[in-house]
Every structure is written in C-alpha cells, then in structure tokens.
Structure 1
Amino acid sequence: MAQYPSMQRSGTAKAELVNAFMRGVYGWMSAGLGLTAVIAFLTATTPALQQLVFSFRADGSIGISSLVWILMFAELGIVFYLGARIGTMSASMATGLFLVYSAMNGLTLTPILLMYTAESVAATFVCTAGMFGAMSAYGMITKKDLTSWGSLLFMGLIGIIIAMVVNMFLQSSAMSFAISVIGVIIFLGLTAYDTQKLKTMGENVPLGDATAIRRGSILGALTLYLDFINLFLMLLRLMGSRR
C-alpha cells in the first residue's frame, strides 16, 4: 500500500508527458494544414501565382505546369529526408522543412482543388476533419494493440498506388470509385494506427529533452498531416462536385 501513491504519481506524470507531446503533434499538424490552406487559397485567387501552377497552351487548353511536377518530387524528397534524418537534424531545421513542405503542398494541391466547387471542397474538409478526429481519438484511447494493422495497411497503400497508376491509362470511373473507397478505409485505419504509435512515442520521449520532443512532434505532425491530406483527397474524389 505504501508504494501505491508513488506509482500513481508516476502514471500521472507519464500521462501528462504524453498529453503535452500529442498537443505538440496536433499543434504543428494544424499549423501545417493552415499554411497549406492559405497558400492554396492565395494561389487559386491570384492570377500571378496561377501562372506558376498552370500551363496555358497556344490552343487555349490549360495543363499543369512543370513546376508542379518538380515540387511534387521535392516534397517526396523532404518526406523521406525527414523520416531518415529526424534523429540527427536540429529541431529548427526539422520544423523549417515541415513548414516548407506544407507551403509547397499548397501550391501543388491548387490545380486539384480548382477542379471542384468551393462549397464541395469546404464540405469535404469538414467531413474529413470529423472522420480524422474520431479515428485519431480511437487511436489515443483504445486498449487494443493496433500494431498488427501496420503491415496490412501498408500493403493496401501500395496496392492503391499501383491501381492509381494503372487507372491513369485505363481511365475507368468504376476503378476510380473503388480506389477512393478503399483509400478512405486505409487512411482512416492509418490515422488510428499512427496516433497510437505516436502515443507510445510520447510515453518514451526523454523527459526534459526539448530537442527530442520537438523532433518527435514534427515527425508526428508530418505523419498525421499526410494521413489527413490523403483522406481529404480520397473523400473529395467521392464527394466533390466538379466545376
């Protein structure tokens, strides 16, 4: 009985540490999403910026500029670089790279968002936020170990990427619909899985090590940011009303 108060305090301290860590994760994720939204809005409403993401051809047709493709490959590089080097880079560099990635994503998402009405984009965002919040909350509070979900979700993710590449040539509406539905399921699962994984990370983060906490928060923010954006895009394909 004499040991119980000490154990209780230890458990309380761990819970407070996890909560503080997850607040950092959600805070930076929200900052990234906010920056993406601002850049996308400015690009969509500013003719000078539209010149950066659209290619206006002589025949009057409009395509995606080469800059967008360059930025997409650069974004992929940033994601892999952050994932591989997060443990050795400074906290300020990790934060800067995440914010640069978020800003670049605002540019590359603009051509997609302009394909849909503003009302349907807003409605899809609200729906995404609700579904993401519910699954992230599940990942935080569930006592079930979601580790086994990881390999299954990863295989599903690879599968829909391959299917999307194939459908670029087939242009099948039925296949596009199936990809979107399966994609929603996969990214909802990843949201819960990644949230639980980050909760575990928060339990083991070095107490008092501000650099390690910031690095972990940025990596976690990037992870959940990617889950949110991809869930949003999959839902937009299902719910969005084209212009």
Structure 2
Amino acid sequence: MNQQSVYSTSSQTSVLQTNKVLRNTYMLLAMTLLFSAAVAGITMSLNLPHPGLIITLVGFYGLLFLVHKTSNSSAGVVSVFAFTGFLGYTLGPILNMVIGAGGGELVTTALGGTALIFFALSAYVLTTKKDMSFLNGMLFAGFWVILIGMIANMFLNIPALSLGMSALFILFSSGVILVQTSDIIKGGERNYVLATVTLYVSLYNIFISLLNLLMAFSGNDD
C-alpha cells in the first residue's frame, strides 16, 4: 500500500510539473511573440535598416548563448525577451521590403500558415502524447544538410537552391516543434525558458521560409 501511495504521489507530482512547464512555455512564447511583433512594428515605422549578416549572426548566437547561461535563473526570462526582441528587429526591414513590393497579402498568408502549422503540430502531440524522440536522428542529419546548403548558397546564389533550403527549413523546424513538445509532455524538458526559445526560433524560421517561398511563387522576389 505504501509503495502504491508513493508511486501515485510521484506520478501526480510529475504530471503537475509537466503541466506547469507546458503552461509556462506557452505563456512565455505568447508574450515573446507579441514583444517581437511590437519591435518589428517599431522597426518598420522608423524604417530602420537591416543590421546585416555579420551583426545578425553575432547577435543571434551571442544572445542565444546568454539565454542558455541564464536559463536557470530569473535573468533567463530577460534574456529571452532580449533575444526575441533582436530577432523582431531583424524582421522589420524584411517585412518593409516585402510590403513595399506589394506583398502585404503574402505576409498575412505566411503568418497564417505559420500559426496553422504550429497549432496542428502541437495539437497532434498533445492529443496523441506520442514520443517523437525517434525524429532526433533525422533532425541531426537535417541540420548538417541545411548548414552545408546555406554555405553553398552563399557562394553559388542559385534561386532553386534557396527555395529548396526554405522547404527544408520548414520541415526541419516542424520536426523540432514535434520533438520539443513531446519532450515537455514526456518530462524530458523541465526548463520552460529553453523550451520557449526553441519553439520561437522554429516559428521564426517557418515564417521566413514560408514568406520566401510565397514571394518566389508569386513573382515578388524580383
């Protein structure tokens, strides 16, 4: 009886902890998405220039490193907002360029498509509670394919390769959302700060990739 009682209590505690991580992750994700959108809006209204590839990479990986270093403290939340705010800033000039080329509807479509992908993937994992860790091997391989493709495209600048990379980014990021959500509900991820950043980056990549594909197929990328 005592062992059953301990097991039951432990199981209930685990479920409560999982629900707390999931709730905190989605709450923080929603707030960072709103904050990022606000920063992007300010950047657009001020018509600020894009920071460029080098500053973007340094800012992205520097702030990502800061998030990981502070993820177990209250400063982690501040780091997440700094990270997502910076990405919001980089998004502003891109949106200005697309809208300026008459692609306002494409931005709305990409935004709606990103939301639909996220909710569909999240709902699938939350409903089925399926362990998606079997995707880790494919995601690892996909990461290297994407990395090599990005480096190659920097030198070759082939439009077809760029479109292929966008499609791969969508597939890769979708897989990350599945695995991350599964990790949370299975108890493998207890840090909602890191979980939030992972989901945010995935959504950011899906949105940018969808926008790139839509622009290409609509002819607005000239």
Same topology, TM > 0.5 = yes
Instruction: Quote how far apart the aligned CAs of 1:124 are.
Output: 0.7
Q: 1:123 to 1:233 in 2, by over 3 A?
A: same
Amino acid at match of 2:18: V
Deviations 1:50-97 (A, max 9, x none): 1xx2xxxxxxxxxx445x74254122112123235534xx22x10111
Instruction: Give the deviation of 1:140 after TM superposition.
Output: 2.9
Tell me: CA distance 1:147–1:228, structure 2 relative to 1, closer, same or farther (3 Å): same
In the other structure, the counterpart of 1:14 is 14
Q: 1:220 aligns with which of 195, 199, 202?
A: 195
CA displacement 1:120-147 (0-9 Å, x = unmatched): 1122111101111111222334344322
Q: Contact conserved, 1:72 with 1:108, CA < 8 A, in 2? A: no
1:104 aligned onto 2:86: yes
Contact in 1 for aligned 2:21/2:192 (Cα 8 Å) = yes
- 1:38 Cα deviation after fit: 0.7
- Counterpart position of 2:42: 42
Cα deviation, 1:145-179, whole Å, max 9, x if unaligned, reads: 32221132022022112212211222212112211
User: In the alignment, is the contact (CA less than 8 A) between 1:163 and 1:179 conserved in 2?
Assistant: yes
Give the whole-Å Cα distance in 2 for the aligned partners of 1:24 and 1:102: 16
What SS does structure 2 have at the residue aligned with 1:114?
Answer: helix
d(CA) in 1 for partners of 2:93 and 2:143?
A: 23
Name the structure 2 match of 1:74. Answer: 59
Q: Say whether the 8 Å CA contact 2:35–2:81 is kept in structure 1.
A: yes
In the alignment, the residues of structure 2 paired with residue 143 and residue 26 of structure 1 have an alpha-carbon distance, to the nearest angstrom, of 17
Task: State whether structure 2 residue 95 is matched by structure 1 residue 95.
Answer: no
1:237 aligns with 2:218: no
Q: Please provide the CA RMSD for this pair.
A: 2.6
Aligned length: 214
| 1:8–1:65 distance in 2 versus 1, CA, 3 Å | closer
> Which amino acid counterpart does residue 234 of structure 1 have in structure 2?
S
3-state DSSP of counterpart to 1:139: helix
- Contact 2:44 2:92 (C-alpha < 8 Å) held by counterparts: yes
Q: Would the aligned equivalents of 2:131 and 2:186 in 1 still touch at CA under 8 Å?
A: no
Residue 194 of structure 1 aligns with which residue? 180
Identity %: 28
User: Residue 146 of structure 1 is aligned with which of 112, 132, 135?
Assistant: 132
Larger CA Rg, structure 1 vs 2: 1
Number of the residue aligned with 1:86: 71
Aligned residue type for 1:106: G
Structure 1, gaps ≥5 residues long: 54-63, 206-215
Partner deviation per Cα, 1:7-56 (whole Å, 9 max, x = no partner): 66654553333222211001111111111111111111124xx1xx2xxx
Q: Distance in 2 between matches of 1:222 and 1:6?
A: 35
The residue that corresponds to 1:31 in the other structure is 31
Structure 2: gaps (5+ residues): none
The 3-state SS of whatever aligns with 2:186 is helix
Letter in 2 for 1:226: V
The alignment's TM-score, normalised by the length of structure 2, stands at 0.83
